[in-house]
Amino acid sequence: MAELRRILVDPNRINHIRLAHNLLELNDNEVHYIKRVLRLKVGDKISIVDGGGNLWTANIEDKSLLSIDSYQPSYSQKPHRTLIGLAVVLPRRGFDEFVRMASEIGIDFIQVLTSARSTPQAEEKWNRWNVIMNEAIEQSENLWKPKLLKTVNFKDWLFDISYKSESASALATSRYVKGKDLRSWITENIPIYNNLWTVIGPEGGWTEEEESLAKDLNCDRVSLGDSILRTSTAAVVACQILNEARRN
């Protein structure tokens, strides 16, 4: 049987379904998505996901109402033992597509960073990024939505992560010949740590001070290959490597 089309609903709204006798009232955007994009009709079935590993089967009762077969999910997926994250210095262009691809590929955390060579024109678009992630989860049929973490300075983030014994981090550098291959770094650290982070710098690269601080705080240096990659490209490459290594 063909897989049902999916719609992602905020977990807080799903928590109220039990009080509403297993009925979910749709907002205008969801009505438009079901009717105009998915072209489903009253009486059709659809899957609801919450971005936290749970899936429900629902019936379309009318244009703005879904009824769920049971408050208990029809399927639940446990989180991975090792969670993976990308910490990325926000670039001027390409971050929207990175958010989309990272959600499709499968990642647990996206941390937005600033650094000494951040692009001043880079815009933070939290509402847009959230919409992009929702669309990507619905399209890719992933059950876990990445957690998008508020912007912090690279140095502050590095100090914070260095005190978390369950986490390991690696700084992606393009011209450091002694940098370990990212795949090798992941393979070595997956059995040891619960959270693995790769840090992607700005287009202008890291400063000597930032690289020195990373070394002092046990943030390893890794390589993504021989090419010099744009920030958004490097972030997608790292995301794919992280997810592939964890899966294997």
What pLDDT is attached to residue 179?
67
Q: Which distant-in-sequence residues (6+ apart) come within 8 Å of 241 by Cβ? A: 182, 183, 186, 224
Q: Tell me what the pLDDT averaged over the chain comes to.
A: 90
- In this predicted structure, the answer to whether residue 76 has a pLDDT above a threshold of 70 is yes
Closest alpha carbon to 109 in 7, 220, 195: 195
Residues of the chain with CATH 3.40.1280.10: 83-247
Residue with tokens 């990024």: 129
Closest alpha carbon to 54 in 20, 13, 23, 1: 13
Q: Under CATH, what is the fold of the domain 83-247? A: Alpha/beta knot (3.40.1280)
What pLDDT is attached to residue 180?
84
What whole-number distance in Å separates Cα of residue 91 and Cα of residue 113?
10
Other Cβ atoms within 10 Å of 72 Cβ, number: 10
Confidence of residue 177 (pLDDT cuts 50, 70, 90): low
- In this predicted structure, the answer to whether residue 175 has a pLDDT above a threshold of 50 is yes
For residues 107-112, average pLDDT: 97
Residue with tokens 């700005």: 202
Question: How many Cα neighbours within 13 Å face the side chain of 230?
Answer: 11
CB 114 within 8 A of CB 231: no
What pLDDT is attached to residue 20?
65
What whole-number distance in Å separates Cα of residue 152 and Cα of residue 189?
25
For residues 55-73, average pLDDT: 88
Top-confidence range, 24-33, 172-181, 226-235: 24-33
∠ CA(224), CA(230), CA(233), 5° rounding?
65
CB 64 within 8 A of CB 25: yes
CB 239 within 8 A of CB 101: yes
∠ CA(71), CA(72), CA(74), 5° rounding?
115
Residue of higher predicted confidence among 62 and 217: 217
What pLDDT is attached to residue 122?
83
What pLDDT is attached to residue 18?
65
6-76 — its CATH code? 2.40.240.20
Greatest Cα-to-Cα distance within the chain, rounded to the nearest angstrom: 62
- In this predicted structure, the answer to whether residue 137 has a pLDDT above a threshold of 70 is yes
Residues of the chain with CATH 2.40.240.20: 6-76
Give the tokens for residue 124. 């933070």
For residues 13-23, average pLDDT: 76
